[in-house]
Amino acid sequence: MEGRPDPEQALSGESGIVSGRRRRLAARLADLVDDATLWLRLVPPRLARSARENKGAVRVIGIYAGDHGASMARAVAELRRGERDLTITLGALDEPAPELAALTRLSGLGGVGKFENLNALLASEPLGNERWLIVIDDDVELPHGFLDRFLFLAERFGFKLAQPALRHTSHAAWSVFRRRRGSVARATRMVEIGPVTAFERTVVGELLPFPSLRMGWGLDSHWGALAQERGWRLGVVDATPIRHESRLTASAYDRREAVEELRRFLEHRPHIDRKTANSVIETHTSW
């Protein structure tokens, strides 16, 4: 359609995989400097105090593979340290992991797309009055105090869709989502479909159920266009960066199939291009 970007312009154009001894060493050093910069300003303890104000219930949903049950269990343990009213609903691609059995509502989900599985999870345990829905992948490492601090900043800056920034050692196709030194949060034009995505309740009804996509490439570009049309604020929280590096991006499926799915999905839907997706509207160094 005239005026609509080429669907493949919704791709970042880079893999974002951090490999090689020198690159990984440089990434670790960058994370150390970023951490030190926040601590010199006492951001972590000040943020922990500010985040004590509880502002609503949270539902977390996620799908995990058999070889990532342990990492999902660690993420669940960290989420439970928060003060929010929390409900966690999980699905297993294989058999339920013993440590997650009580939270696993569906199992044997292998062979079906991520978003179809997420829809099945929500159908098995529908949303109630939760203020936030968080979708989490099974291969992330969350920082201490993550949930309360992340959502406090998302609420403070009025984000309707939000994600935590990625540490420099993480695999990240979109450079805009790597943490920025000195920033606690940034308003952006796009929020990714993973590895951690938060939906405020006022947009849940417009974005769910998820489209029946297997890989989901391009869905975040479509969300970005909808946000522009409807005036939603989107953002990335730099003060609560996560690690995402235990599994290579797109290693579980064929890239060509993912791109073809993207083209079909975006062909007749509004979406933003990569330049827009990588842009920052505001940078906040405090709250």
CB 258 within 8 A of CB 217: yes
Chain centre to alpha carbon of residue 31: 19
pLDDT confidence of 236, banded at 50, 70, 90? Answer: very high
Q: Please give the average per-residue pLDDT across 185-207, as a whole number.
A: 97
Nearest CA among 76, 70, 114, 108 for reference residue 92: 108
Number of residues in the chain: 287
Q: What is the pLDDT of residues 247-274, one digit of tens each?
A: 665 555 688 898 999 999 999 999 999 9
Percent of the chain with pLDDT over 90: 83
Q: Please give the average per-residue pLDDT across 69-94, as a whole number.
A: 97
The three-state secondary structure class of 2 is: coil
The three-state secondary structure class of 193 is: coil
Q: Where are the domains of the chain?
A: 19-284
d(CA 189, CA 102): 37
Q: Please give the average per-residue pLDDT across 2-26, as a whole number.
A: 80
Q: What is the pLDDT of residues 129-142, one digit of tens each?
A: 999 999 999 999 99
Architecture of domain 19-284: Alpha-Beta Complex (3.90)
The pLDDT assigned to 1 comes to: 44
pLDDT above 90: residue 53: no
pLDDT above 80: residue 8: no
d(CA 82, CA 144): 10
The tokens of 145 are what?
Answer: 């105090």
